[in-house]
């Protein structure tokens, strides 16, 4: 039996305005101590956010099951508000560690925060018809680079996403992708602030 994951093509994808922030609740990263797979999640005891955007302000914990490394992150305070993390690029938005899920694809780097993120992108890439039901400025799919959306690259990109799905099941330092290294391509901060007690 072939255990390699395969993303099947679908006929239609409806973009309902999925934000990249929605996938930051669980991020697989390269451990700063051993180089294996570590996990970044909301710190224990933190209240579940009402809105996905609040995930970018929640205190985080990085933990590695392989070597026991642990680190905590809290949002910077500025002018009575919290400065939110900015998702995007090949580093996690909190600790700025290289993402564990990275692979080379058509001369570029394909990455994901976690399995659900990879699956969502695969559903979009594999669709023959893509419908937009939301503002393009908010949608993660509208912001994907042109090379990932191109029909002639579909098979190569789907193969790369399948490789990321397989990589998510691995955790040892020796399993680390040769693409999972610092690149300094984290997006520039856009100055988002969260004021405690605000209705959002």
DSSP string of 133-170, one letter each residue: -S-TTT-TGGGS-HHHH-GGGHHHHHHHHHHHHHHTT-
- Whether residue 47 is predicted with pLDDT greater than 90 in this model: the reply is no
Judge whether 195 lies within some domain.
no
Judge whether 184 lies within some domain.
no
pLDDT at 188: 53
Judge whether 187 lies within some domain.
no
Judge whether 189 lies within some domain.
no
pLDDT (average), residues 73-80: 88
pLDDT category, 190, cuts 50, 70, 90? Answer: very low
pLDDT at 10: 58
**Domain range spanning residue 84?**
10-176
Judge whether 136 lies within some domain.
yes
pTM: 0.85
The tally of domains found in the chain comes to 1
Judge whether 27 lies within some domain.
yes
3-state secondary structure of 43: coil
């Amino acid at each position: 039996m072939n255990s390699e994951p395969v993303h099947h093509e679908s006929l239609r994808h409806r973009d309902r305005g999925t934000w990249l922030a929605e996938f930051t609740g669980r991020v697989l990263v390269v451990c700063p101590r051993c180089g294996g797979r570590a996990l970044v999640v909301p710190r224990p005891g933190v209240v579940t956010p009402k809105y996905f955007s609040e995930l970018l302000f929640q205190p985080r914990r990085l933990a590695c099951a392989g070597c026991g490394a642990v680190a905590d992150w809290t949002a910077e305070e500025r002018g009575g508000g919290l400065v939110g993390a900015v998702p995007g690029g090949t580093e996690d938005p909190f600790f700025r560690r290289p993402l564990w899920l990275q692979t080379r694809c058509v001369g570029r780097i394909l990455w994901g925060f976690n399995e659900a993120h990879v699956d969502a992108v695969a559903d979009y890439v594999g669709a023959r018809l893509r419908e937009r039901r939301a503002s393009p400025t908010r949608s993660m799919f509208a912001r994907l680079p042109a090379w990932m959306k191109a029909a002639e690259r579909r098979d190569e990109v789907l193969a790369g996403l399948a490789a990321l799905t397989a990589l998510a099941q691995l955790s040892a330092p020796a399993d680390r992708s040769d693409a999972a290294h610092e690149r300094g391509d984290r997006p520039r901060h856009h100055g988002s602030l969260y004021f405690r007690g605000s209705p959002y």
